[in-house]
Structure 1
Amino acid sequence: MMSRFFTATTLLICTSAILLAAPKTTVTPGARTVVLAHNAYPDHGKYADRIDRAIASGTPVMIEEDLAWINGHSYIVHGAKNASPDDPTLETYFFPKIKPVMEQALRDGNKGNWPIVTLYLDIKNDPPEHLQYINHLLDQYNAWLTTAPKTGDPGQQSPLKFGPMMILVEDKQNDIKQRFFYDDVPAGGSIRVFGSYTKPVENPAHLPKLDFINSLVAVPMSQITTQKADNYHRWWGVDWAYVEKGGEEHHGVWGKEQVARLNEIVRYGHGLGYLMGFYCLDDFTAAENQGWEDEYNFGSISDVVPRWTAAIHAHADILSTDQYEVLAKQIRAR
């Protein structure tokens, strides 16, 4: 037990030393905190201003678009259920909305703040043809993209070639995103889409939902993963229930113990080389609800702000919320 402890501790110290020695960039873990605009797309024709709100909240910003492959087409929609041909797509909605921002960034040429937009593609289903479609679509936007050269050593992160946009996806057990976005890239080619640590199977013991949620706060981070960031896997999205018992919807009192756990999680992930993100932290009343989900709702600004503040102070890299403007002000203030 003692030898394992020292081995793990030495690994984190050495990894941290390497990160500190490397040139700092906007995507060095801990360098900046950005808003992740949760589900920034219309909901069956309603709330069509979400992406406009995300952009107006200020850059840098991360924007989430959920994608579902339905009858040979990729739609921006929360899930395949009740989807329709009128739902938006990356071609009809996201890229036209973001085009003026990208073109202005290229004209300005201020690469010191790039990427100013990070696109998080939450791919709900990934048959090969869906991932092929995404790759072909990205061919049109290569000039915008932050990329990295693929070398012979996947464990070594290549320096990023910065464009005004970066694209992230989340990798899960037994999915095929890595094959299409990394493995199939030839040596010397450009990685255009970057993955996450490989997310484990959720609730493998099949506990009742609330019991499972309550159990996460006691899980050691080293039990979740010891997988180090590499040339493809560069970020880690953490459910808030790992930070405090009950997560957002069933939270308790926020105090020193919870702050310490939050800092522990961020330090551990940064030690492995990941950008660390947390989702999704909201506060809204029923009257304020704009199609948001209760499972992410603290219900009070006095409850969510201390958690936002603690995450910013811990140097979390990504904070997800549906209240883009409010969190963006908190980040700028601190």
Structure 2
Amino acid sequence: MITSLAVLMLVDSGAISVHDKVSKYWPEFATNGKEDVEIRHLLSHTSGVAGWDDKITMDEVCDVGPSTAKLAQQAPWWKPGTASAYHAWNFGHLLGEIVRRVTGLSLKQFVAERIAGPLGADFQIGVLEKDWSRISNFIPTPASAATADIKHGPLFLRAIGNPIPSPEMGKSLGWRNGEIGASNGYGNAYALNTILSTITLAGYEDVDKRKHLLSKPTVDLIFEEQSSGIDLAIGVPIRFGIGFALRGDGDSWVDDWLPAGRVAYWGGSGGSLGIMDIDRRATITYAMNKRSNSLIGNTASRAYIGAIYEALGVNVE
């Protein structure tokens, strides 16, 4: 979510366009059938490069330079732009390289200097050693239930199961010092809300000027549908816009617990979730340390979301 915001900020400034080819900024990427992949394809998980061809370790994923270079040499797993497959591990590698090539800043630096810092949000990509004592350790999902409710698309093992995460990975130096924009952001629900509300409230004059990270036309881009159908990795129907998934029209797996309208969302393994409800000017975030057997949202987060909308008098059925 934060990686998407970083790239959308570059779009908003005019530094890049979502319709630019990736190779305009990253020439090495234009090989093996990826010559026409555009920025919007990376932002919508439709690039065809949803993971690594070869088996890869978590330590190798954390070594961002070499692991990103490997992605540049691969052929797409399907025709780019025709379907989605959740880029669970490499979303930040691909888009972080765009940020680096355009700004000269690493994704970690960009988030610190241009997003979290100005907003006063307690959020980092990776985590500084001085903050290690504040990390809340994950309570893992019981092994017997680890994948009980997770649906599998045909690319699940290649995109999400390579590498295979472990309960101990968050304690490694490589992980804590790493820059995995898809998965090793450190923060809390309040910090996420502070950041994501810049999307929800974009264009409103009554909003603190520090929150003006995007203009309304850039937020409108988020709602330009890029794909809609069964995600090849997760195996459920997802409607993707540019940077985020979108509430559908009865054809998306979130439609029975999110209200109709301009609602964007995404989440993380274990149950975390962020919702930007543009129509109602509501930003809802949920983060936890007790993991569930869910890739995006869980029973607790959905109950929490339902209670919030009920309090707002919003019908989600």
**More strand per residue:** 1
TM-score (norm 1): 0.23
Larger radius of gyration: 1
TM-score by structure 2 length?
0.24
